[in-house]
Structure 1
Amino acid sequence: MASNGTVQSPTNNPYGKTLADYLSRVDNFSIIESTLREGEQFANAFFDTEKKIEIAKALDDFGVEYIELTSPAASEQSRQDCAAIAALGLKAKILTHVRCHMDDARLAIETGVDGLDVVIGTSSYLREFSHGKNMDYITQQAIEVVNYIKSTGLEVRFSSEDSFRSDLVDLLNIYRTVDKLGVNRVGIADTVGCANPRQVYELVRTLRGVVSCDIECHFHNDTGCAIANAYAALEAGATHIDTSVLGIGERNGITPLGGLVARMYTANREYVMGKYKLDKLRELENLVADAVDIEVPFNNYVTGYCAFTHKAGIHAKAILNNPSTYEILKPEDFGMTRYVSIGHRLTGWNAVKSRVQQLGLELTDDQVKEVTARIKQMADIKPLGVEAVDHLLRQFHAAKSNGSTITAVAAS
């Protein structure tokens, strides 16, 4: 314990949990990957059976614990796809997401999935403008459906929808009811993305004191809080987080798989690396991006082309001395590489020196500083690509080696 009375982290990681967070599941969580359910609701998404199977296998290879599929009640093709993926024999458990209705439950059970994720809206908005049912009806329906699913021996999760705009007493009452029935998990859903991390922490911590089963959380990203909310939920005692690849889903989507993994890696690198094949992330994201006809964003967590690109001179110098100065993630752990950009007016001579050494050229520090000044001069007119910079460096080196006086150096 520190002299000021605060509890210090048990490791040297300042971003890890403290001993006081005894309910935290930051070091013990599971991912319910919903690209093939929530992701199908993305504006551009259309996955045929072959593509669904390819994505399911890739997710399984990455190491997610659960794969959630669109309800078989959505269409005949959805039913067939659900049965096909359930029959693959993947390591991940196969779930399907269904309304809290007996007909949906029966149809889903027939597909051979490992479990059912049951959901019904509990906010006043959804009770008035969606299904039109009161809480007494919802509770009775939940009891009937949950008991039926449990009688088949399958996993069952019961989730409210629009949880953060639902009455807290209503929520706790229905969660307590289904917990006593023996559900595997109860679910909290920020369906409209309105929650903030403090609200999430408080609700999950309250719920943790009410139910003994696991707690699953589903966060939409309408206001940019999905990853932070997911982390706060785990700190408060949640056990499962819903994700989708690249965060695709209804509207702005949900917690992105890559973003969540990056956040959790920062909290406990060894745990995350032991659970998931992080070097498969880029391949997985490229697969899904191609399937929904989008590009991986330039600033995407881990795999965006700028994620490990360093440009400013003082950043580049520090990175070359010790990458941890400006990188909290190790690119090599994700199968990525860093790139130090030098063809611009912000470049520094240390970064240029590193490139000179990579090219096997011999220049003194003063000569490196001289050629750096030339790069800056040219980059004031337009940025230089790596090939143009390398051409300039080789020309400069050749001129110095020949003892020539350099009046101009051209870059092609």
Structure 2
Amino acid sequence: MATDTGSRPCCSSHTSEDNNTNGVTIAPNGNHEGFTAVQTRQNPHPHVSRNPYGHNAGVTDFLSNVSRFKIIESTLREGEQFANAFFDTEKKIEIAKALDDFGVDYIELTSPCASEQSRKDCEAICKLGLKAKVLPLSFLRQYGFTSVETGVDGVDVVIGTSSYLREHSHGKDMTYIKNTAIEVINFVKSKGIEVRFSSEDSFRSDLVDLLSIYSAVDQVGVNRVGIADTVGCASPRQVYELVRVLRGVVKCDIEIHLHNDTGCAIANAYCALEGGATHIDTSVLGIGERNGITPLGGLMARMIAADRDYVLSKYKLEKIKDIEDLVAEAVQVNIPFNNPITGFCAFTHKAGIHAKAILNNPSTYEIINPADFGMTRYVHFASRLTGWNAIKSRAQQLNLDMTDAQYKECTAKIKALADIRPIAVDDADSIIRAYHRNIKLGENKPLLELTEEQTAEFAAKEKELAENGVEVSA
């Protein structure tokens, strides 16, 4: 059972026969067997309540950028490093246009030095006239020099600064890194475009080395400095503290790139903003090297819970599902069932207590309004966990009126069947209809066609539930 998600129409949700009978729901969330999408205006979702413990608690943190951040979308750079990824030029253009329409501030591309096709793709995307700025990734020196020739709006310069990478990757010392970074930054700036310098493996780099090089590039006018948790080792507290320290050293913007190896990418991104970061790197579905980086959709979920008005003013959130479907198909993966916002179960409520509260006021068990993302809310009533309020709501959708006592008795019968075997919406609806018919006609016909063994088991279960006083009041 799906309920309307707010003041706006519920996007493309429907069932068979004008929502009054059984059917498989087709909605942005996917097909929900055992659920029925029915439009109703009975439970609008009020604005999300402020978190009394969050940054809106009444004391404003002047360094926090939770309400003024920008997104550098890296699906076409970091995402190309995902194991399954292969984007031809046509697909890259389609993804770039979709991200631009969504409202991302920057689109990061694979270095044009990676291959001849990468260079051609970079040039093609630069000619699209997107609102978002286009930035290729470049590894210092010749890569930075070559990138500016493709028509980009800026260059993202990066080099490893940890002892691991200096010893086992490029073999350069910090003096070389600093001098070369300044050389490339001055060159890129001379072309009238913006430039970012980022360390790689920042959280395993020496802090003095980091602050020294960040200070040096800030003094020559770099637009942004970047912090990269390249191996996903950082905790939210570590991210906050490093960003906070860096904020006191540089005047320029601060970008952060966070891998998800330990599952902290979204939390780390949020803490980075609280510490003073201004730009967050994302990719659609979080795809990237290994298990990827901060996912665009997941970050939007986190940020809309923090500042709904700001997020709604900047981004077309209803586009998230289409973008994720586009990328998921391109890299041949399924969207996880528990994916923030777009997962199959993201806005599904099953327990009776939850269902009752959701039907009264969705804010009771939802911090995010699914309507903001063009998604649909579902209340599951065909299970042993259902409560009589959910059954009452479903019966009313079927135009079947009963007393509260009768709804409760009907609920007990549905729970009894669900204790015997899994039940679908058809089973629950059949019980509701048959029970209502028996009441109106004064009959006592079987509620379902069951085998003799099932009938005996069903009767025994009804008796057991009655004797044990099973709660159906939720």
CA distance in structure 2 between the partners assigned to 1:26 and 1:272 by the alignment: 10
Shift of 1:396: 2.5
Tell whether 2:101 aligns with 1:61.
Answer: yes
Shift of 1:400: 2.5
Seq. identity, %: 70
Structure 2 counterparts to residues 54-203 of structure 1, below 5 A: 54-101=94-141, 103-203=142-242
- One-letter amino acid matched to 2:234: A
Shift of 1:104: 1.0
Q: Which runs of 5+ in 1 are unaligned?
A: 1-10
Shift of 1:378: 1.3
- One-letter amino acid matched to 2:117: Q
Deviation per CA, 1:305-341: give whole Å up to 9, x if none.
Answer: 1010001111111111111111000011111111011
Q: 1:116 aligns to what SS in structure 2?
A: strand
* Shift in CA distance, 113/79, structure 1 to aligned 2, threshold 3 Å: same
Q: Output the TM-score relative to the length of structure 2.
A: 0.83
Structure 2 counterparts to residues 241-252 of structure 1, below 5 A: 241-252=280-291
Shift of 1:375: 1.1
Contact 1:194 1:223 in 2 (8 A): yes
1:31 aligns with 71
Contact 1:41 1:249 in 2 (8 A): yes
Q: Which moved more, 1:371-380 or 1:76-85?
A: 371-380
2:464 aligns with none
Contact 1:388 1:411 in 2 (8 A): no
Q: Which moved more, 1:128-137 or 1:399-408?
A: 399-408
Contact 2:145 2:184 in 1 (8 A): no
2:399 aligns with 360
- One-letter amino acid matched to 2:201: D
Contact 1:16 1:268 in 2 (8 A): no
CA distance in structure 2 between the partners assigned to 1:262 and 1:137 by the alignment: 41
- One-letter amino acid matched to 1:192: V
Q: Which moved more, 1:384-393 or 1:350-359?
A: 384-393
Shift of 1:391: 2.9
Deviation per CA, 1:179-221: give whole Å up to 9, x if none.
Answer: 0110110000000000001111111011001000000000000
Q: 2:430 aligns to what SS in structure 1?
A: helix
Q: 2:376 aligns to what SS in structure 1?
A: coil
- One-letter amino acid matched to 2:98: A
Contact 1:71 1:108 in 2 (8 A): yes
Q: 1:118 aligns to what SS in structure 2?
A: strand
Shift of 1:403: 2.3
Contact 1:247 1:257 in 2 (8 A): yes
Q: Which moved more, 1:339-348 or 1:103-112?
A: 103-112
- One-letter amino acid matched to 1:72: P
Q: 2:150 aligns to what SS in structure 1?
A: coil
Structure 2 counterparts to residues 307-346 of structure 1, below 5 A: 307-346=346-385
Q: Output the TM-score relative to the length of structure 1.
A: 0.95
1:41 aligns with 81
- One-letter amino acid matched to 2:347: F
CA distance in structure 2 between the partners assigned to 1:272 and 1:43 by the alignment: 31
CA distance in structure 2 between the partners assigned to 1:117 and 1:17 by the alignment: 33
Q: Higher relative contact order at CA 8 Å, sep ≥6: structure 1 or structure 2? A: 2
Q: 1:71 aligns to what SS in structure 2?
A: coil
* Shift in CA distance, 186/17, structure 1 to aligned 2, threshold 3 Å: farther
1:216 pairs, out of 255, 278, 303, with 255
Structure 2 counterparts to residues 285-300 of structure 1, below 5 A: 285-300=324-339
* Root-mean-square deviation (Å): 1.4
Q: Which moved more, 1:268-277 or 1:380-389?
A: 380-389
CA distance in structure 2 between the partners assigned to 1:409 and 1:244 by the alignment: 50
CA distance in structure 1 between the partners assigned to 2:398 and 2:447 by the alignment: 21
- One-letter amino acid matched to 1:359: L
* Shift in CA distance, 360/408, structure 1 to aligned 2, threshold 3 Å: closer
CA distance in structure 1 between the partners assigned to 2:203 and 2:350 by the alignment: 42
1:5 aligns with none
Deviation per CA, 1:245-271: give whole Å up to 9, x if none.
Answer: 110100110000011111110111011
Deviation per CA, 1:44-100: give whole Å up to 9, x if none.
Answer: 111111111111111011111111111101111111111101110011111111101
CA distance in structure 1 between the partners assigned to 2:235 and 2:450 by the alignment: 51
Shift of 1:346: 0.9
Q: Which moved more, 1:370-379 or 1:83-92?
A: 370-379
CA distance in structure 2 between the partners assigned to 1:238 and 1:411 by the alignment: 63
* Shift in CA distance, 176/369, structure 1 to aligned 2, threshold 3 Å: same
Shift of 1:12: 4.5
Q: 2:420 aligns to what SS in structure 1?
A: coil
1:232 aligns with 271
CA distance in structure 2 between the partners assigned to 1:135 and 1:12 by the alignment: 45
Deviation per CA, 1:279-307: give whole Å up to 9, x if none.
Answer: 11111111111111111100000110101
Q: Which runs of 5+ in 2 are unaligned?
A: 1-48, 452-474
Contact 2:256 2:280 in 1 (8 A): yes
Contact 1:392 1:410 in 2 (8 A): no
Q: Which moved more, 1:172-181 or 1:358-367?
A: 358-367
Shift of 1:20: 4.4
Contact 2:108 2:137 in 1 (8 A): yes
- One-letter amino acid matched to 1:21: D
For this pair of structures, how many residues does the alignment match?
401
